[in-house]
Amino acid sequence: MDTIYQEIESTSEWLSKFGADCEGGITRLLYSNEWLEAQHALLEKFKLAQMRAYTDEIGNVFGQVKGSFYPDEVIMSGSHVDSVVNGGNLDGQFGIVAAYLAIKYLQDTYGQPLRTLEVVSLAEEEGSRFPTVFWGSKNILGLADNDAVSDIVDKDGIKFVDAMRQCNFDFKAKQQGRNDIKAFVELHIEQGAVLEIEKYPLGVVSSIVGQRRYTVTLKGEANHAGTTPMGYRKDTMYAFSKICHESIEKAQKVGDPLVLTYGKVTPKPNTVNVVPGETEFTIDCRHTDRKQLVDFTEELEQDINRICQEMGIEANIDLWMDEDPIPMDAELVDMICTTLDERNLHFKKMHSGAGHDAQLFAPHVPTAMIFTPSINGISHNPAEKTKTEDLTVGVKALADVLYRLAYVE
């Protein structure tokens, strides 16, 4: 296993060529030339490693090592091959590299597994080219809605179906999910700074947060900043500041894993000497527990209405995203923790604050995720980076877990 360090660097470097953009990042959008080249190259790489390499109808790429005793029980690992525009070379991609290297290592070291091992390079997760997400995992699980993508186009007006067919892929003949997958393990960078700050080389994900997103529009009165006494104002910036300040203090008191973000704030007319007559802002709230997420945000909605009513301001609250938290498989998570403990690998059991392919698999097959640290928590950016030492620990941990799943009775 001493060569893993070198193999991680060489394999990552090799795969990063496909879609390397002029700004030092990776832009590899679904059904683009760069995307197609990457999937073809992975197919060839899997073949060279003595795997049964194949693609499905829509372009997911697989590398399979048949099991000797339970060939129909598939232990799958991988992540998505697509990137955001000008993204880094770890988000998605490293989950494929890690699964490939871990399976190759197991095959080389222990020979044929009892159960079938399979690396997957998922076609799409990010939604960076077309207004759809998780296209890869949805198709594997029989969850894809072909009608939902039949009319969508990218920013250049190219139809999803035309782009797909140009790559020689097409809709699945019948929408039926694979039922041979007995476990799905996804390795991914954390995309946050918790592991780095708390000095853990590994994270074991217990669940993926649910999210609620809102756009709130406050309507008061635009007034002259000099001639309108404080008592005669309907100042939407004051209302926003009270809402934001008080609710973030509440969220801090509730504590992890609740997070609350006011990311976008747009006052009108947005000029120094006019009291903002209108302010639009977004709320992004996440929690691993559905009830607590709903309770917190419903109380926040009430607080917004109360604060605005007191100030004579009209509030329009639009909840436009409401996603349930997705727990990982408790038994599988326990097995991973035990395995890492036995290897004396230091890890943090944690939740994921971002969405991943694993959340599509989890309701259907036993699913788990392993995180490696992100330097400064940076992701979706060419500066996205993890120390190769940490990536190596991640691949070794993944290999240990896959060994348990595929080589042990």
Binding site for a second copy (CB under 8 A): 190-194, 197, 209, 211, 213, 223-232, 235, 237-238, 240-246, 248, 251-252, 255-267, 270-276, 282, 284, 286, 352-355, 377, 379
Q: Is 344 annotated to bind ligand? A: no
Q: Which is nearer to a second copy, 144 or 307 (CB)?
A: 307
> Minimum distance between the CB of residue 158 and a second copy, rounded to whole angstroms?
25
> Minimum distance between the CB of residue 164 and a second copy, rounded to whole angstroms?
27
> Minimum distance between the CB of residue 378 and a second copy, rounded to whole angstroms?
9
Q: Is 389 annotated to bind ligand? A: no
Q: Is 91 annotated to bind ligand? A: yes
Q: Is 351 annotated to bind ligand? A: no
Q: Is 376 annotated to bind ligand? A: no
> Minimum distance between the CB of residue 269 and a second copy, rounded to whole angstroms?
8
User: Cis peptide before 269, with omega less than 30 degrees from 0?
Assistant: yes
> Minimum distance between the CB of residue 57 and a second copy, rounded to whole angstroms?
32
Q: Which is nearer to a second copy, 266 or 305 (CB)?
A: 266
Q: Which is nearer to a second copy, 350 or 405 (CB)?
A: 350
Q: Is 286 annotated to bind ligand? A: yes
> Minimum distance between the CB of residue 121 and a second copy, rounded to whole angstroms?
24
Q: Which is nearer to a second copy, 59 or 201 (CB)?
A: 201
Q: Which is nearer to a second copy, 186 or 235 (CB)?
A: 235
Q: Is 380 annotated to bind ligand? A: yes
Q: Are 315 and 303 in contact, with CB atoms under 8 Å apart?
A: no
Q: Is 213 annotated to bind ligand? A: yes
Whole-Å CA distances, 284 to 7, 12, 193, 378, 402: 39, 33, 19, 19, 35
Q: Which is nearer to a second copy, 55 or 211 (CB)?
A: 211
Distance of CA 3 to the CA centre of its chain: 29
Binding residue positions for Zn(2+): 80, 91, 126, 188, 380
Binding residue positions: 80, 91, 126, 188, 213, 273, 286, 380
Binding residue positions for allantoate: 213, 273, 286
